[in-house]
Homo-oligomer: A and B are copies of this chain.
Amino acid sequence: MSFEERKKTRVTLVDVARQANVSRATASLVLRKSPLVGSETRMRVEQAMRDLGYVYNIGAARLRVERSQIIGAIVPNLTNPFFAELLSGIEEVIGATGKVVILANSGDQVERQEMLLRRMREHGVDGVILCPAARTESALSDQIADWGMPVVQVLRHISLGLDYVGVDYAAGMRQAVDYLASLGHEKIAFAVLGPIHSAYQERVDGFRDAMLSRNLDPRILIHFPTQLGEIANATHLLFDQATRPTAVICFNHIVALGLSAGLHDRGLTIGRDLSLVGFDDVADAEAIRPKLTSVATGPVAIGEMAARLLVERIGNPDLPPRRVVNDTTLHIRQSCGRPG
């Protein structure tokens, strides 16, 4: 029934060809803007397409040529504004190439990620931008190679064999530590959260190295709950330490948001009673008061770059793996002062 209907309704290339009095091959050439077709013919065909309301069937084309014009993007968390900005960058440049992006959320779960990768392969994606779920084994990279699937890792990496676009977290930590040290801080805490992955490790290592290189104690590492709402209530963790910090560097903007609220609740003034440095610098940094001094990582630009790399990789699968590690910028605003 619906099968019969469609047979009648669906306009195909032969319909167009017939209407324009050309062969199917010619119609196909017009479609792909081949210069082989004369302009009168071309216009006649294009007119026929409009008259008939023809819609190109990418899926059918895909069966012949090896391009689905679909790429996949897998992120561990959609509600985190940081990833939303990343996606926005990805969507923009992929969209500009005429491709389309399939979005998926791994929830930082390895099995779910596996399922999503399979599903994307079934859809014949031309490539995937992957922010690997925490605890992803590096063996996944071998699988991906076996599949012959173009992949660029973004923000986190599991293998040197795949393209990677990320952030120089170590440099960011150095900027934060140097700045606080220049203000006279010596007891600097690092407030972390979430599961362990390369970006986590690089920040922690970067913090330690930066502290050590200034002969400061790098051991004040404080773990906070993942939920924004709970962070404020856990602010006391800052003061339960053997040595009470005078400054805190935040793992990301979620921690910064939570702590700035929690410190407020305790009647403490940020920048005077305790200095706070954020990380990631999403729009909120400007909106919090006092304005948050923060290490900017530029998620939109990272998304754009990852998309560009993926497009290149698809065009040229034999390129050696590339790593693009973006610089960070310390945006000095108002949340830091000299230690009390």
Return the CB mask of A37-75 against B: 1 if under 8 Å, else 0.
000000000000000010111111011001011100100
Evaluate contact between B59 and A68: CB separation under 8 angstroms: yes
Q: Is A265 engaged at the interface, CB distance under 8 Å to the other chain?
A: yes
Report A150 CB to chain B, min CB distance, Å. 13
Contacts A100-B119, A124-B59 hold; do A257 and B284 have CB atoms under 8 A apart?
yes
Q: For residue A9, which residues in chain B have a CB less than 8 angstroms away from its CB?
A: 148
Within 8 Å of chain B (Cβ to Cβ): is A121?
A: yes
A123 touching B91 in the complex, CB below 8 Å, given contacts A62-B59, A81-B81: no
Indicate if the CB atoms of A287 and B105 lie closer than 8 Å: no
Residue A145 interfacial (CB < 8 Å): no
Binds B, one of A82-90, A128-136, A164-172: A82-90
Closest to A68 in B: B59
Contact status A101-B100, CB under 8 Å: no
Determine whether A2 belongs to the interface, using a CB cutoff of 8 Å to chain B. Answer: yes
A310 interfacial by beta-carbon distance below 8 Å: no
Interface residue? A264 (CB, 8 A): yes
| Cα distance A84–B265 in the bound complex, in angstroms | 29
CB atoms of A58 and B105 under 8 A apart: no
> Number of contacting residues on A, CB 8 A?
64
Interface string of A91-119 (1 = CB under 8 A from B): 11001001011111100000000001011
Q: A120–B100 contact, CB under 8 A?
A: yes
A73: nearest chain-B partner, CB-CB:
B103
Chain B residues with CB under 8 Å of A213's CB are none
Any chain B CB within 8 A of the CB of A271?
Answer: no
Roughly how many angstroms separate A265 CA and B289 CA in the complex, as a whole number?
Answer: 8
Are the C-beta atoms of A102 and B104 separated by less than 8 Å? no
Complex Cα distance, B95 from A123, in Å, reads 13
A57 to B121, CA, bound (A): 8
The residue that A79 contacts in the complex, of B88, B104, B264, with Cβ under 8 A, is B88
Contact of B66 with A63 in the complex, beta carbons under 8 Å: no
Q: Which residue of B lies closest to A80 (CB)?
A: B84
* A123 and B59 within 8 A (CB): yes
Chain B residue numbers with a CB within 8 Å of A80 are 84
Interfacial residues, chain A to chain B (CB-CB below 8 A): 2-3, 6, 9, 53, 55-60, 62-63, 66, 68-70, 73, 78-81, 83-85, 87-88, 91-92, 95, 98, 100-105, 116, 118-124, 146, 148, 228-229, 232, 257-258, 260-261, 264-265, 283-284, 286-289, 291, 300
Taking A100-B119, A261-B287 as known contacts, 20 extra A-B pairs with beta carbons closer than 8 A to each other, sorted by chain A number, are A3-B66, A53-B146, A58-B122, A60-B63, A78-B85, A79-B88, A83-B84, A87-B103, A92-B105, A95-B104, A100-B123, A101-B103, A103-B103, A228-B283, A228-B287, A232-B287, A258-B287, A261-B288, A264-B289, A288-B288
Cβ contacts A to B, 24 pairs, < 8 Å: A6-B66, A55-B121, A55-B122, A56-B122, A58-B122, A58-B123, A59-B68, A59-B123, A63-B63, A79-B88, A79-B283, A79-B300, A80-B84, A88-B105, A91-B104, A95-B105, A102-B103, A228-B286, A232-B286, A257-B287, A260-B289, A261-B287, A284-B284, A288-B288
